[in-house]
Chain A
Amino acid sequence: MTGTISTLREAMTAIGQARELPEGTPSLAVGIACSFTPLHLQTFLHASVQQASPGRRVSVLPGLYGPLPESIQHVAGQKPDLCAVVVEWSDLDPRLGVRESATARRAEIDDLSRTAQARLDRIHDALAATASVCPVAVVLPTLDLPFIYAAAPGRAGMLEARLESLVAGFRERILGHDGIRVAVPVGGRSRRDLQSDLRSGFPFTSERAAEIADAAARALVRPPAKKGLITDLDDTLWRGLVGEIGVGAVTWDLDSGSLVHGLYQQLLAELSRRGALVGVCSKNDPDVVAAALARPDLLVAPDALFPVEASWGLKSAAVAAILKSWNISAQDVVFVDDSDLELAEVAAAHPGITTRKFPTQDPRAAGDLLNELNDLFWRERLTAEDAVRTSSLRASAALEEAREGSTDPVQFLRDLQGRIDIDEVGAWESARAVELINKTNQFNLNGRRVGEVEWRTRGEADGAFGWSVSYTDKFGTLGAISVLSGVLVEDTLTIDSWVLSCRAFSRTIEHHVLAALVERYRPATVRFEFEPTERNGVVAQLMTALGYTEAGVSGVDAARMDLSGSTGIHTVDFVSP
């Protein structure tokens, strides 16, 4: 099943299907805290998170029925992997709930505001504490106020304005906490189920519960962001065929009725700033393309576009060249073109690639496309490496060009004047380290993913070590490109995570890191928790070269590891705290 879950039957079916997952499937515990019994909300959240986490067996840990801060604390105490918190008006003051308002006199605005502020402060404290345990998605009030507080139909009232102001301040405060995300449900034509509220205290319609659960699940579990976007030029990056009408005649402005292309250029600039790779694939004369991309009014800087493949050949071949240059797989890439034919040709040649048509004559559809692209490439946070990704790719391209002209591979690597910096302290606090582990597929010891909290906790174990490895050479810096972690028990070193960015391949960095590890800890045995995956063949080759013959945890005599052929090529330093 795919797509948003909107009925209880779909939700229960999704949960039922997960029962068929094989033994040993990793678990994922999701807490849900609200001041009412979560009922269908729990079912929908379970299903939505399960659907977004197909390789995990999801369970839901509900909070306590009662005041929200206590419910949040109860959930946090169960150490979930993720947590959803649903706040409603009645959590700010019980008199703002239907049940209480029906038996209480209409309260004064100032009185309600004071209570609401005090309650929000307590909820804030509980959320802040929970965010240190796991990522938290918060859904803020979406129901209408009870009838006795309603203003005239179609008009906003003073109480509503005051409460919304308090909630806005609260939202700003909680967004200041790393790990707290505010989930915003979409839809909402039918929100309050008065019958259900009166019958069981559950205030939402089934439809609204599904929307809230979907928003919370999206805030908590996101698919891996796409890494690269390959764009066509004519009638995509700009309006018009540049080879036909000339460099000065293609447009992307309001007066020409082609601003959707300008908005698209702005989005590409933003995606590049966020570390996405943006390449160009166009059937055009290369000189014409170079002239057009040099226009000073282009809204995406030319150096954000790399590589630019302009030729009259098949677009699938140009896409293949770009993928090779980026050294990423088609699954991580979106191809945008205005031609159905080109999209189909590329899709057929590159299984797994995401293709999207640029609807050049349909601004509404173009707006939807821009929103979707923004979502596909959304990343929770930016790292220093994001800022240098395109420049480091240019550096890699320059390196490969130089490599082709070299006859002595070892001397070539020596001439790079490579420098490997190992950070032994900062890795456990590094968002980049977690990101690298979770998005690296090729050089990944076992394909295991890790949450930020789990990563930090791992670093607290006795004998634990975690390295974040950066690389720089004469062609430029690649930033942090490798992470490894493990534990030293007596004289046995066990490595449980090890990833190396594909941008850093072919430089013998992995051999230097291993040699540094052995030098640092002087173990008698090195064990690798290696597990083959569909895409980590490069690690399997390394394991074989090191003498490992079977998948799983196995070890070899550290002294027998022959790393001499690659060490000494680059300088290796440990970063001082």
Chain B
Amino acid sequence: MSTFDSVEAVDAAVEDCVRTVFPQLSDDELRTATRQGLEAWDSLATLSLITLIEETWDVMLTDDEVAQFSSVEQIKTVMAARQGSSA
């Protein structure tokens, strides 16, 4: 698993993945994006996010983790928890 040395680095890596999937979002829109509130965030976008995050961290996400992918904030929380548990 790739490691990041701070919460900020984890957040930045998550945001980079989200930006790749939703290049049209501004930085502010990106940070507050939710699956409910963003029309482009469909099932394919979710799968793309999962794959990008798995590529970035070199991990396989569990179904429980994926179930929490409802907002960018939540994804950051999930990945920060991963980072913490592997530290």
**Contacts from A to B (Cβ < 8 Å):** 7-9, 12-13, 16, 19, 37, 39-40, 43, 195-196, 199-200, 202, 206
Contacts and interface: CB of A to CB of B under 8 A. Distances in A.
Given A39-B44, A200-B43, A8 B60 contact: no
Contacts of A12: 20-21, 48, 52
Contacts, number: 35
Contact of A40 (B48, B56, B60): B48
Contacts of A195: 60, 63
B47 A40 contact: yes
B71 interface: no
B48 A43 contact: yes
Interface string B47-75: 11001101110001001001000000000
B47 A9 contact: no
A195 B61 CA distance: 10
21 contacts: A7-B55, A8-B51, A8-B52, A8-B55, A9-B20, A9-B55, A9-B56, A12-B20, A12-B48, A12-B52, A16-B20, A16-B23, A19-B23, A39-B44, A40-B47, A40-B48, A40-B51, A199-B63, A200-B43, A202-B47, A206-B55
Given A7-B55, A13-B20, A195-B60, 5 more contacts: A9-B20, A9-B52, A9-B56, A39-B44, A40-B48
Nearest to A10: B55
A8 B48 contact: yes
Assign chain B's interface to a size class: 10 to 19
B85 to A, nearest CB: 20
A231 B72 CA distance: 58
| Residue among B44, B63, B66 facing the most chain A CB atoms (10 A cut-off) | B44
B21 A200 contact: no
Given A9-B20, A12-B20, A195-B60, A39 B52 contact: no
Contacts of B48: 8, 12, 40, 43
B30 to A, nearest CB: 15
Contacts of B44: 37, 39
A468 B48 CA distance: 49
Interface string B19-39: 011010000000000000000
A308 B73 CA distance: 69
Contact of A39 (B47, B60, B63): B47
Contact of A206 (B43, B51, B56, B63): B51
Nearest to B43: A200
Contacts of A13: 20
A149 to B, nearest CB: 26
B48 to A, nearest CB: 6
A2 to B, nearest CB: 19
A13 B23 CA distance: 10
A40 B20 CA distance: 14
A196 B61 CA distance: 11
Contacts of B54: 206
Contacts of B66: 199
A200 B55 contact: no
Contacts of B60: 195
A39 B45 CA distance: 9
A147 B43 CA distance: 28
A291 to B, nearest CB: 60
Output the residue of B48, B63, B66 with the most chain A CB within 10 A: B48
Given A7-B55, A8-B52, A9-B55, A200 B20 contact: no
Contacts of A37: 44
